[in-house]
């Protein structure tokens, strides 16, 4: 068995993590199936996946190319709806929401960080970070802006434009922007994919630190065992199914499990 121990994949129960509700899960997928296309061309990307994202933890999602990682993230974040089964954000069943309510929920309760930083070039750092609040018609709490800008190490750079920042600094703006609404969950899709190793490590340490210090729930899709090793737990997908979880991962234990998945 790999160091750090294993838990049963996709059926974890309880949790007792900081800020947990009765279930301890920020997001739950219950028998969620995802299908792209129709008829003979239909591709089942997720096969009845049941999984919980532990509140207040950093969870990495790994698996071979095409295993369903992005689909998992899109379902969990309410960007796509399951063909069958349910997705719950806290106690909210996303399948029961109309499109406008789902859009509002994503805006208010979910933060996103992508490989591309997607910053607005004409806005300074401060206005980029607070953009989601303006979209939501909410006012900016200056103390909270100062706190998150400080937490991501941008306190001195709030007046700069994105073009005046390094790639790592731009990604930190995107992370602060994802945090500004105090979301239930931040979803990060390959957040270090465009960064060099050293800068990527800084961003990963930052994400882990935000979980440990703010209790922020973070879910990250990655191909990289080193990136996954910054998480508390790694969830492994293969062929659209959850095939295992690893707590307290190391780059070596994650890589060993990935090799094993590749042999399936």
Ligand X SMILES: Nc1ncnc2c1ncn2[C@@H]1O[C@H](COP(=O)(O)OP(=O)(O)OP(=O)(O)O)[C@@H](O)[C@H]1O
Residues of this chain that interact with ligand X (CB under 6 A) are 36-37, 43, 45, 63, 65-71
Label residues 222-240 b or e (16+ Cβ within 10 Å = b): bebbbbbbbbbbbbbbbbb
* Of 47 and 160, CB closest to ligand X: 47
Task: Cite the DSSP H helix spans in 180-220.
Answer: 197-214
* 8 Å CB contact between 67 and 257: no
Q: Which is nearer to ligand X, 65 or 139 (CB)?
A: 65
Shortest Cβ distance from residue 46 to ligand X (Å)? 8
Q: How far is the CB of 199 from ligand X (least distance, A)?
A: 22
Please state the closest distance from residue 66 (CB atom) to ligand X, in A.
Answer: 4
Least distance (Å) between residue 236 CB and ligand X:
11
Closest contact distance (angstroms) between CB of 78 and ligand X is: 16
Distance in angstroms (rounded) separating the CA atoms of residues 85 and 46: 11
Counting DSSP H helices and E strands in the chain, the numbers are 8, 11
Task: Answer for the pair 119, 173: CB distance below 8 angstroms, yes or no.
Answer: yes
Phi and psi dihedrals of 7, rounded to 5?
A: -125, 165
Nearer to ligand X, 80 or 127 (CB): 80
> How far apart are the C-alpha atoms of 128 and 121, rounded to whole Å?
9
By C-beta, is 175 or 235 nearer to ligand X? Answer: 235
For the CB of residue 190, give the shortest distance to ligand X in the complex, in Å.
8
Sorted by sequence, the CB contacts under 8 Å of residue 162 that are 6+ apart come out as 117, 119, 120, 121, 123, 125, 128, 170, 173
The token duo for 145 is: 């802006």
As measured in angstroms, the least distance from the Cβ of 71 to ligand X is 3
- Nearer to ligand X by C-beta: 113 or 145? 113
179 versus 236: smaller Cβ distance to ligand X: 236
Q: Which two tokens stand for residue 76?
A: 């969990």
Nearer to ligand X, 35 or 105 (CB): 35
Q: Which two tokens stand for residue 89?
A: 């954000």
Instruction: Specify the 3-state DSSP secondary structure of 164.
Output: helix
């Amino acid at each position: 068995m790999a160091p750090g121990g294993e838990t049963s994949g996709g059926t974890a129960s309880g949790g007792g993590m900081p800020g947990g509700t009765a279930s301890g899960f920020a997001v739950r997928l219950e028998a969620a199936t995802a299908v792209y296309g129709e008829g003979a061309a239909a591709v089942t990307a997720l096969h009845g996946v049941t999984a919980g994202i532990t509140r207040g933890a950093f969870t990495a999602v790994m698996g071979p190319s095409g295993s369903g990682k992005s689909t998992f993230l899109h379902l969990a974040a309410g960007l796509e709806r399951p063909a069958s089964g349910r997705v719950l954000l806290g106690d909210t069943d996303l399948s029961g929401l109309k499109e406008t309510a789902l859009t509002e929920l994503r805006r208010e309760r979910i933060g996103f960080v992508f490989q591309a930083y997607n910053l607005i070039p004409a806005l300074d750092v401060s206005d980029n970070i607070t953009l989601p609040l303006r979209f939501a018609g909410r006012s900016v709490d200056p103390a909270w802006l100062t706190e998150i800008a400080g937490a991501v190490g941008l306190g001195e750079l709030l007046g700069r434009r994105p073009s005046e920042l390094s790639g790592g600094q731009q990604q930190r703006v995107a992370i602060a922007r994802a945090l500004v609404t105090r979301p239930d969950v931040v979803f990060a899709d390959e957040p270090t994919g465009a960064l060099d190793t050293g800068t990527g490590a800084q961003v990963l340490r930052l994400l882990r630190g935000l979980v440990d210090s703010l209790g922020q729930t973070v879910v990250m899709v990655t191909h990289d065992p080193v990136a996954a090793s910054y998480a508390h737990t790694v969830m492994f997908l293969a062929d659209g199914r959850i095939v295992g979880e690893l707590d307290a991962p190391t780059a070596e234990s994650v890589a060993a499990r990935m090799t094993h998945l590749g042999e399936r």
